[in-house]
Amino acid sequence: MEITNGFALDGLSITLIGLGILALLVLFAGAKTVPQGFNYTIERFGKYTRTLKPGLNLIVPFIDTVGKKINVMEQVLDVPHQEVITRDNASITANGVTFYQILDAAAAAYEISGLENAILNLTMTNIRTVMGSMDLDELLSHRDEINERLLRVVDTAVSPWGIKITRIEIKDIDPPKDLVDSMGRQMKAEREKRAAILEAEGRRQSAILQAEGAKQAQVLEAEGRKEAAFRDAEARERSAEAEARATQMVSDAIAGGNVQAINYFVANNYIKALEAIATSPNQKILMLPVEASSVIGAIGGIAEIAKETFGGGAPAAARPSRPPSTGSSQ
């Protein structure tokens, strides 16, 4: 028995301590902690047996070993610039980015060697294939279609490796400088063409509207003339009816033997004729070769008619009326 630091240790105690230390070492060797976002593959004598998930896991110490530490988070892989010749023989430079995620750690670890390099080469090859089958104008205007076709093709190719391609994006498409200048001139010419077409269309529409406006104005003017003519004819008809009634009344009076009515009718027309002569624009001097007594006699006849009409007294004795003389008195 030995004395160490005041404690007595015999052979049994030393053996138990050694066994305890060995048990702790075995426990630590068999306990594996896997961080979140990773999967560990376990190999037994070099052969894959199982995959450890995130958390605390136990393995057979000194027999099972960790083979591959696989990152199962979504990862990004840059696709470098590469030259592509399009279907219409235009040379361009394109690059992109690929997003992928490992779904099966064992397949990604043991089915392919150099995983990232394999994904990169597949993406670059299919970029040249897909973009090379399209015209330059299609490449510049259908980028979403290119991304969709690349995603479908590359994802199908890497699926045996336990990988899911989540997204492929073309970042830049760079045509040569001379081609860019040509495209700029083409775009300018196209815009000038559209501007000329729009201007011509505007002039055409304006001419059509002006013609329609003139047509409508002519229609309205014709309708106005029609309405005016109708109103004028109606007015002339009413005037003729009134004149006819007046003439009829005078005729009835004459037929009844009323001499004053004849005097009124003749004097009225006579005075109207004098007014027309006096108001003529080229008439400066008016010579009246008439007898004053004739006009006065006619006016007197009008006065007598008025008296008889409004009851101003007994009718005067009828006297013969001399028609106005048109010649000069001798």
pLDDT digit string (tens) for 136-169? 888 888 899 999 999 999 999 999 999 999 999 9
pLDDT confidence band for 3 (50 / 70 / 90): very low
DSSP H or E segment with residue 258? none
Q: Is the pLDDT of residue 240 over 50?
A: yes
d(CA 128, CA 299): 121
How far the first Cα of the chain sits from its last, in Å, is 200
Please give the DSSP secondary-structure letter assigned to residue 316. Answer: P
pLDDT (tens digit per residue) in 164-218: 999 999 999 888 888 777 778 888 888 889 899 999 999 999 999 999 888 888 8
d(CA 101, CA 170): 19
pLDDT (tens digit per residue) in 53-65: 999 998 988 889 9
Q: Is the pLDDT of residue 268 over 80?
A: no
d(CA 163, CA 122): 13
Model pLDDT, residue 22 = 82
Strand partners, 65: 43
Crossing angle of helices 177-255 and 259-278, in 10° steps, is 140
Which residue in 31, 67, 63 sits closest to 44, CA to CA? 63
Q: What is the mean pLDDT of the chain?
A: 80
Of the ranges 4-13, 250-259, 271-280, which one carries the lowest mean pLDDT score?
Answer: 4-13
